[in-house]
Structure formats: C-alpha cells, structure tokens
Structure 1
Amino acid sequence: MFSKIKKINFFKKTFSFLIAVVMMLFTVLGTNTYKAEAATTSFGGQLKVVGSQLCDSNGKPIQLKGMSSHGLQWYVNFVNYDSMKFLRDKWGVNVIRAAMYTNEGGYISNPSSQKEKIKKIVQDAIDLNMYVIIDWHILSDNNPNTYKEQAKSFFQEMAEEYGKYSNVIYEICNEPNGGTNWANDIKPYANYIIPAIRAIDPNNIIIVGTSTWSQDVDIAADNPLRYSNIMYTCHFYAGTHTQSLRDKINYAMSKGIAIFVTEWGTSDASGNGGPYLDESQKWVDFMASKNISWTNWALCDKSEASAALKSGSSTTGGWTDSDLTTSGLFVKKSIGGSNTTSQTSAPTFSLQSGTYDSAQTVTLTSSDNDSVIHYTTDGTTPTSSSPVYTSPITISKTTTVKAFTTKTGMTDSNITSAVYTISNTDPVKQVSAPTFSYNQEHTIQLKL
C-alpha cells in the first residue's frame, strides 16, 4: 500500500513386513502435520507467460484472483492453513500474496522471524494446491537497490527451498517510489536479482515492480527485461486511480508485456476513504476483460476501508457476510465466492395443520435468539412488512398461517405454513314432527 512453504518362512516374513509398512503408513497419515489436499480445478499447474498473457501448464490463459495479506509483522495471524483453505473453498481464491515488508519492523530488522512466517505461508499454499506470491515489500525504503544484497540472498533461499514447486511466484520489489525510476534503478535491480533466482529456479513466474508505486507499466513496456516468464505489477486504489491508469495498462499490454495487479484496494491510495465501489467495479470488469490476475489488499481487520474483515473477526476463516466489511463483501463477490452467510431457522408451530371442532391457539417459536418472526393469516406470503409475531394467535375460523424468521447478519429462513380448518361449532339439531298427508301446499314453522 502507498503510505504506508523356504516359501512359508518367506511368506511369513513378507507378510510381517507388509503389516509393518501398513502400520507405518497409518502412523504417518494420522499425524497432524499431513495436510495434502486434492488438487482444485482452479490450480493450473506450471504457469508461464505467453505474450501479454499469464497461462496455465497447457498454454491456456488463466486469471488468478485472491487476497494479499497486510504486513506480516502486524497481521500474519490472518494468513494460515485454515483461513487459506476457507478462502479457497468458499470464495474461490486460488492465489495468496504474502506481503513481507522490508522496513517498518519487517525483514531487515527481523530476518529470521519474517522468513519463518513466509515459509509457513508458502508451505500451506503448496499443501492446499494454491499459488502463493512471495512479496519483497519495499515501501518506505523507496529504492529496491537499498537492500539488494539482502533481497538476493533471500530470493536465493526461497528458490532453493521452493523452486521445485509450481505454486510459487516471486515478487521482487513491491512499490518503488520517491524518485526511483525504471531505467536507472529498477531495471538494474531486476537484472541483478532475476539471474540469481533463475540459476536455481528456471521456470516460476517473477513479477517486477515499476516506478511511482508500481504504476508506470507503460515506461517498463518501452524498455522491457529480456527474460522469460516475467510479469510487471501495476497497483491501484479505486478512489485515486481511474481511467488514465487503465490506459497505461492497455498501452503496456499492446507492447507485449504481461501485467499482474498484485495489489489493489476499493479505498483511496491511503487505504482509507470510500470504499469506491463503482470505480472498483470498473477495475474488476477491466481486469476480467484483459484476463489480468490480481490480489486484493488486504486480508486483515485493520480499521481502514480497504480491510476485508471487521474488527475482531476470526483469524482462521469461517467468516459469514456479517464478518466482512463493505470492501470484503465486494471482493468476495468479485472473486466469485459462495454465500457463506448462515440462514436463520424457520419458525415452528405449536399446533399441526388439521381440522378442529373449536377455536384454537397457535404459538410460533424460533430457535435463534434475537430473531423476529413475521407472519400472515390470510394465506398471502409474508414479507418484512408483515406483522411481527408477539403473542399467540387465536384461530376461530378456517385459516392459513404463514411465517418466516429474520435475524441481523443472517439470511431469512424459509417460509413455513399451516392450514387450520375449524368445523361448525353449533351441533346439528334433529327435529321430529307428526306425519300428515296433505292434498295441497302448507307452510310449516319449526321452532328450535
């Protein structure tokens, strides 16, 4: 953000050996450290760049969509196996970006602890068959050359440990800024770091930042790097960056370079303000039309507009829509996530449908505390404008009762109904009278 991984004996011996092997397998598979998951349909294997497109192992264009962490020194607790699995299964996320700041209490001052955080996230992503971006998150240090030796050593270690996995993507400089330019600073830095990675990992995608907080992809397009499987990052915040930045991306792609939006927000460039959802939608539509992969800033509960989670939300997933900020709801929908909001329980009736020979009383109840029941007694479908149930309903004539439950933060329940038929409450009286024969019409009066 801008401000800011013989025979009988032989048979007996063989049989015993097989039992031992099976027991060992059960022991291994039963440990908590085994997390391998079946491949998901959104995992495209070994990625490669073809022209201006990111493609899967078959050469078919692929769009990755996911979440970026906030700084790992502050919000690493939100990026773990359980939360990533939830994002994969419920939101459709197929890529996670691990934002490891260099300054501001990040890698430069705490290399061992930050490295361990990165490694845990990378390994979880591999176990979940998700892509993971290892982000060397320069910001206040402005120029990537400030710590280029540390960057080289770090990425060599990452490549040695994880280069054999097609899940891994390297982002070698987040947002060069403060007068840093492409020709004199960023490109020389990239020409220093990329060969160090490629000597170990010849295939995985490498993403390079651009000048002006990774906005000047047009400048990089006019003087590109000469390596394979290279992408260039463009960052935007919807409240600050609009069509003029999309024009830069259009130009860059027309020159044949591939763009990956590794960071964007629904807020303004500070991370606050907004969210600006109309402009965000323009960006989401634009990226879809160009097949540009992206990760949204940020998976955290920080008190700012760009955060996806409300304060105090779970750190291990399981979020309902009521746990998400306005930005989080928008991003989940943009990724294609399923509805994760719980539904209220339908109301229950104390009296079953049936025929009764006298007036009855019906009580409606809900198993969800603090819920509200709306109902009708005329057979029409109840809505949120229908009467609110507060006391038992008296049924004195044939009546159809329909009701549903609402609760803040949950979806409405299904509608339940019951039909009560009330028979005539007065008994049929038998009348007996003398029998006579008449040869003409007479009027007869009956008194009960």
Structure 2
Amino acid sequence: MDAKLDTPDLAGAGDDLAEREAAYEKFVWDNLKRNYLGNYLHGMLGMTGFRLVNTPTFLPAYLHQVSGSNAIVGLGLALQQVGGVISPIFGATKVEHRTRVMPAAVWMGSLARLAVLGMAIAGWLLKGSALVVALLVMMALFGIFMGAQRVVFSLLIAKVIPISRRGRLQAWRNTTGSAIAAVLAYFAGKYFIGHNLFGNGYSTSFTVAFVLTSMGLWCIQFLVKEPEPPTTRARGGFRERFRDLPRLIGQDRSYAFFLLVQMTAVSARIATPFYILYVAQKLHLHGAVQMGATLGLLSTAFMMGDMLSNLIWGHIGDRTGFRFVLLLALVAWVAATVLLMNVSGSWLIAAAFFGLGGAQAGYNMAAQTMILEFGSRDDLPMRIAVSATAESITATIGPLVGGALADLLGYDVVFGISLGFLAVALMILIAIVKEPRTARLAAV
C-alpha cells in the first residue's frame, strides 16, 4: 500500500500550531502498534543481513584473502566510510523540507542493498585484481547509500516512535536480529565459507545478506504510516545548509562536545578491521576450513554480545537517558580490547569478541538515539547528518592509518592507539557532555 495515500493531512488539522501539534501526537500514538511492528521487522531483518557485511570478520577476512594486504583492508574500510562523509548532509537537504520521507528511505535503502548484491556477484564473476577493485568500488557505494539511509531512517523513527519507546524498540529489534545473525554467522563461517558453498562462500553470505535486508525494507514500506509534521524547514540548497552547519553546532555546547565524543570514539575503530587478522596471526590459522570455523565462532560471539547487551542498553536508556549507556559502552570497549590483547585461548578470545559486540551495540544505540534528543525538531535531519558525517570523517582516516601502521609496526600498536582514543572520548563525555533529555526537561 502507499502510506502517503493512507495518511491524513495533518497540516490541515487546525490553523493553530498547538492544535496541529496535538493532532500530530495523536496520530503517532494511534498508529504506534503498526509503526512499531514495521520498524521492528525492518530493523531485525536489516541488521541480521547487514551484520554479515559490517561485522569485523567476514569482509576484512575476504579482502585480505583476495589481496594479501593489510593496507587494502584499511583502504576498503576507508572507502566505505568516505562514502558516508557528504551523503548524509546531501540526504538531509533532500528530506528536511518534506512532509514525507518514506520515498527517500525506500530509494536509499534499495541502493545500499544493491551494493551488497554487487559484492556477491563480483566474487562469483571476477578474480585477482579485478575482484579487489570491484569490492572496493562496491564498498564505497555501500558507504554512500548507507550514509544517506541513516538520515532518512533515523528521521522516520523520530517521527513515528515516541521518545519513551525508542530504547525498547531498538533493544528488541537488535536483540532478535543479533540472535538470528549469530546463528547465521556461525553457519556462514563454518559451512558457506568453510566449504566454499556455490563456488564462493563469501558471495553466498553476501547474497543471504541482500535477501534479508530487502525483506526488512519491504516490511517498513508496507507497514509504517507516516504523519505529516506540524512544521518543516523551508527548502534550502546544499551549499546554503552546509554554510549553516557552524551555527547548528555552536548553538548547543553539549551537542558540540557530543560530536567530539563521536569522532574520538569512532577513531578508536582504527583497530576494528584488524581484530580478526590479529587473531589469525596469534592462533596461526591456515586454510579455509580452519579460518572458516574461527570466523564462525568469533562472529557468533560478537553478535551474541550485541544481542544479549541490547536489552540492557535499551532499558537503561529509556530510564536514565542514553548518555549513561554511552559511558558504559566505552568502558566495555576498553575492557574487551585489553582482554583481546592479553589472551591466546580460543574461548577467551571469543569472550573478548563478545565484549566488543556488546560495546559496539551500546555505542551505536546511544549515539543514534542521543542525537534525536538535542535541539529542535525542524533541525533534526541536519543534526543526524552532521553526526553521521563527523563519524565518517574519522572512520575514513582510521582504517587507512591503521592498515599502514599494522604493516609497519604490528597490530599491538594499532590497538594501543585505539585505546587512547577511547580514553579521550570518555574524558570528554564525563567532564562536558550533559544528558540531553534531562537538560530539555529542565528547560521546559
């Protein structure tokens, strides 16, 4: 069905802004069950599939297998992130003046999924340097469309899910999505990759990711009923809105430092592509069967950490706000990295990956939810875009530097730099960043 045709025009609910606001709130609560289900299914299926691409195991291992270079692994992750530098701001300028964002969400989501399918097809059809180049191109395109998708889907959640329900929604969809992804990752590693299913186990895994994420997109398209907001920004050009960014950042000191926390925390991902390569070196893994089994085990541990922690993160966030979740996640990230650097047994390494999965889940939930609570609703698309761009800038540089340092100085140096960034992020968060929910309620 076309949600646009099904949704009443809230702009005509009354000439008075208060009446339009009341009509908007009523629409949100009246359609909450339907919209909750649509977002839940989209998130569960989407995250199940995308975790096969974004988990720091399959894609880095595949790139390293076909290229034999840490630098290429870093380049691939950097290209994926550089795609998300400008696309969020561009995406925000295309939707912030619109009363409906679903059409843009479907377009951006579809293009991101096609990039994953492109990785799969490249693996079956190409070999050698042509395959490496194709994978790098697809990763860059994936980053571009995921950057724009992040803005439109975050805006859509902000429109249809009340603030008091967002943590639980993310917790349940992430938990069930991670549970399915953990089982899928185990079988993908052991059977798809270990047995080179259909001639290329990695391509088979990416095809499964494409199918699952596409199913999630269909769910949100056909279930969610989107309201028209009482107010929207006037349409502005890309250059005009780009020049307006310093004002947007500077008007809220806590938001500005929250961006700095995001950038330093994401800089800590300098080590992320090399977790699995570090383990392969430490455990002296050789051959597809041995590597596939380890990929399955560690991917499952990472996703189980994500799954089991999400309910905790969501509960804490809804009760206290997400600043505390962000703090706990950064502490867990430090602890898991230190553990990984100091153990050599397979199950202790799996425990470290479990901790890394939980930490990443907490960081992602907190960062994506806190940004919805700063400032005015009309500026929300651009705030989401600024956060996505800020993260992408540092996430672009990190893997490039990390790959070069890993080749020159070894993985321990890269992990030590990652810990340094996490320490800086923690200090800024504790000393300067205020909980936006508390600050907003105090201002009312």
TM over 0.5, shorter chain:
no
Q: Which structure carries more relative contact order (alpha carbon 8 Å, separation 6+)?
A: 2
Q: Which has more strand, going by share of residues?
A: 1
